[in-house]
Structure 1
Amino acid sequence: MFEMLPFLETKREGGNASPESMREFVKAYNAGELPDYQVAAWLMAVFFNGLSQEELEAFTLALAYSGKTVRFPEGLLPVDKHSTGGVGDKTTLVVVPLAAACGAKVAKLSGRGLGFTGGTVDKLSAIPGMSTELSVKEFVDRVISTGCAVSGHSKDLAPAEGKFYSLRDVTATVPSIPLITSSILSKKIAGGARRFVFDVKFGAGAFMETKERALELAGTLVELSTRLGFDAVAVLTNMEQPLGHWVGNTAEVNEAIEVLDGRGPEDTRDLCVEITGAMLYVSKVSPTIAEGKKTAAQALSKKLGLARFREMIEKQGGRLDENILSGKKSLPLGKDTLEVRAQKPGWVSSCDARLVGETLRLLGGGRLKKSDEVDLSAAVEVLKKTGDHVEAGDVLARIYASDEKILKIAVPKIEKAFSIGEEKTQRPGLVWGIRDARGFHPL
């Protein structure tokens, strides 16, 4: 039986546990041998005292190997891209097939949306017939044959991480950077990827609201990955306002297809090229991120990513009309719509991403808890952003839902998201910089 009290006392006093005791601790909790109240006390001690490098390595690996793991053939080292969550963040739908079309092997494990941020699995569920619950064998086979696959997290992968996260969620310890890092990286390792790109967001619509906290998390993720023998890069990106023009599961699939087809909003295209460039760099396809970006941009202009997207969708059982892939048609959105208009002339000084995300949740397109059902057709179309000039009566946004009553409930929230001033406000830059094993490189 694991002796929890001395282990807990060590961390309470700011001491460090041995790797062996950390492994035994995770094993005991995963087996149901430890009460939640003692583990909760340890989580709070970590929140205040942190984890040493040695502890963080041991804790992360113990979580990663607490259940089944995905194994790829020897020599195949897939890349996985992880976003810390944003509003309108449909980049995974673009970068996974785009990186694969450029020669990388992409093994992407994704989650469902929670709170005001969306989840890739929900978005892909908007595609008729699309399977996002692949078995380990199916996942490996798709990556080998197609070059990429996207699947939801299996409960068998890193099960201890799920137990720890559930307890963090009710003990106010979610913001701990060592615990965030171990949570993210353990699932990636269990999922079989050996190269990582982290999109660490900051701003109103991000989990990390300040640049400083985002940079700290990015540094911890990259440094831990490097110490464990994995190639990793973090891209730090601004989430003060939504990415692209559309927020909502089905709507973001439509917009991702636009980008893959050489259209779509500039900010989304630029970020997808940046992230794909980083994926090609860590995958050893390109010698530098800059060269990777050039390769990605060329592939995007030739619509190679769109062809690989079609193949990936079909291999996972999805069906998309050729007219949708060519932009002649779109996947259907909520039947009821309402426009939100500017009440005065001026310049948009902010378009609050968090409030836009919360609007989508009110429309039924998001969750407060994991068991909530989601209306995949609910959407917010953002027509004006920071730095845009508007006249009184101009449409700022359109909201879509399956019930007209829900639209009216959501209006005050979306109206609050927009601020209009008398002077022009500069649109915020999208990519702040890159954090790699050598340090931070502002762009």
Structure 2
Amino acid sequence: MDAREIIASLRRGEAPGAAALRWFAQGLADGTVSDAQAGAFAMGVCLRGLSEGERVALTEAMRDSGQRMDWNLPGPVLDKHSTGGVGDCVSLVLAPALAACGAYVPMISGRGLGHTGGTLDKMEAIPGLVTGVSEDRFRAIVGEVGCAIVSATADLAPADKRLYAVRDVTATVESVDLITASILSKKLAAGLEGLVLDVKCGSGAFMKTADEARALAEALVATANGAGCATRAVISDMNEPLAPSLGNALEVAESMEVLCEGKPGRLRDLTVVLGGTLLEQGGLAKDEESGVAKMAAALESGAAAERFAQMVALMGGPLRFAEDWRRFLPEATVIREVVAPEAGFVTAMDGEALGLAVVRLGGGRQVESDVVDPAVGISDMVRLGAKVEKGAPLCRVHAAREEAAGRAAAAVLSAITIGEEAPDAQALIHERIG
């Protein structure tokens, strides 16, 4: 087969077929397909779309472009994936809490994509921690601690690794088909026995509307089950940041406050719901309600924090990180308070604009070669619906330079709408699929 002909068939609106998709995925993995061809393929899929059968075929082809893992562990192998939002650091809390409940969580994660933060970038805000570990090391950490949050090895879904990087810089992130294949190829290659998908919906998500989020959730669940992995999905709210901080080190700090100090809020609430669903799927809880209770107990007892600290140490980070985590996290040189220009209620937030403000501060990548600054971001974000007085703080910007802080502050003010009436409250969980 020929990459140009496959791309041309997409341009003509023709179905590429399973064999062509397998060939293209293998070409991504072995370098037969160039970056330019990968970008053209991504744009073709984005514009034309794939059928359900083609989506399963592309997912399986990308899964099979490298090694597939299997496990022999004394507990269920479970995982979660989020479709991306702002202030979403659930993985850092969920994985160790699940491990404390008897599950094994080989969490293969990604970097920032578009306006959303990446779990690997957050983990690497911890000094010394390395997410790129060998398969043997990955297995050893999962076996000993019960969880590891790592990047895909070169042998695990290598087709996705190529396509993922290309999508971020070619405006093809939002394709349901490419999102589905990207997420599931890595997860299925990891040998999971159960998976829950957190599909975000709202201004800070890739899927802005309920219909878009539902379409993605249904595509993910149908594709994963079609490829042989029992999967459910939750559609959760992203009309405001999940946690009140955006940025890599700042989101690690939010996670540690939940793990070590029991901080209440949307981050903790969503974590226990997702974890409860997985514990039921894995047979570690009789139903979701008891699974939620087990997750809460793992957080409150400190067992989840201890698992996180063990994982950090085994991945090269500081010893006993949970005991003194504030000392280790990097801090920005400039911290500026952003205040309300008028009194009223916070009626809306443009979450995508907030995420992009963090990217422009250096907390994400605008081109593939950009180096991420782990210290920058936004903290202490006001809640949607909050009543504010003129001059009251809306958030704090963390920047490397004064001029960057000024630009970010202006972006924040443009992203927040203040009105005379409070908006209707948004439920954290909008819908469940599967």
- TM normalised by structure 2 equals 0.90
- Cα deviation, 1:19-75, whole Å, max 9, x if unaligned, reads 445434433564455677777666555445543333322221111111233332378
Q: 1:108 touches 1:149 (CA, 8 Å); kept in 2? A: yes
AA partner of residue 220 (structure 1) = A
How far residue 435 of structure 1 moved from its aligned partner, in angstroms, is: 1.0
Structure-1 residue corresponding to 2:429:
431
Post-superposition CA distance 1:264-314 (Å, at most 9, x none) = 241111011111112212322123323211211222222221121112112
Evaluate the alpha carbon distance shift between residue 394 and residue 142 of structure 1 in structure 2; reply closer, same or farther with a 3 A threshold: same
Is the counterpart of residue 278 in structure 1 residue 269 in structure 2? no
Compared CA separation, residues 370 and 71, structure 1 to 2 (3 A): farther
Matched, 1:104 2:106: no
Contact 1:208 1:214 (8 Å CA) reproduced: yes
Residue segments in structure 2 that go unaligned for 5+ positions in a row:
none
CA, structure 1 residues 360+97, in 2 after alignment: closer, same or farther (shift >3 Å)? Answer: same
- Residue 66 of structure 1 pairs with residue 65 of structure 2: yes
Equivalent residues in 2 for 1:110-129, closer than 5 Å = 110-129=109-128
Does the CA-based 8 Å contact 1:236-1:433 persist in structure 2? yes
Looking at structure 2, the residues matched to 16 and 165 of structure 1 have their Cα atoms a distance apart, in angstroms, of 20
Helix, strand or coil for the counterpart of 1:363? Answer: helix
- Shifted more, 162-171 versus 230-239: the winner is 162-171
User: What residue ranges of structure 1 are gaps of 5+ in the alignment?
Assistant: 437-443
Question: How many residues matched?
Answer: 434
Q: Distance in 2 between matches of 1:37 and 1:362?
A: 26
Residue aligning to 1:344: 342
In the alignment, the residues of structure 1 paired with residue 74 and residue 301 of structure 2 have an alpha-carbon distance, to the nearest angstrom, of 29
Percent sequence identity over aligned pairs? 38
1:350 shift after superposition: 2.0
State the partner residue of 2:198.
Answer: 199
Determine the C-alpha separation between the residues in 1 that align with 2:172 and 2:362.
28
Partner of 2:234: 235
Q: 1: CA distance between counterparts of 2:91 and 2:239?
A: 19
- Which amino acid is the alignment partner of residue 224 of structure 2? S
Residues 320/375 of structure 1: CA separation in 2 closer, same or farther (3 Å cut): farther
Partner of 2:382: 384
Between 1:207-216 and 1:257-266, the stretch displaced more is 257-266
Residues 348 and 385 of structure 1 are in contact (CA less than 8 Å); yes or no, is this contact kept in structure 2?
yes
Aligned 8 A contact 1:90 1:256 in 2: yes
2:368 maps to 370
* Cα distance, 1:219 vs structure 2: 0.8
Moved more, 263-272 or 27-36: 27-36
Deviation for aligned residue 1:230? 0.8
Classify the secondary structure of the residue corresponding to 2:363: coil
Cα 1:43–1:109 change in 2 (3 A) is closer
How many angstroms does 1:107 deviate by? 0.6
Query: What is the distance in 1 between the residues matched to 2:176 and 2:270?
Result: 25
Moved more, 100-109 or 181-190: 181-190
Residue identity in the other structure for 1:264: K
More displaced stretch, 356-365 vs 87-96: 356-365
Find 1:354's aligned residue among 352, 355, 376: 352
CA distance in 1, matches of 2:422, 2:234: 28
Does residue 1:331 correspond to 2:367, yes or no?
A: no
In structure 2, the CA distance between the partners of 1:301 and 1:346, relative to structure 1 (3 Å rule), is same
Cα drift, residue 12 of structure 1: 4.0
Structure 2 CA distance for partners of 1:56 and 1:418, relative to 1, 3 Å: closer
Equivalent residues of 2:276, 2:291 under 8 A apart: yes
Tell me, in whole angstroms, the C-alpha distance in 1 between the residues paired with 2:287 and 2:68: 30
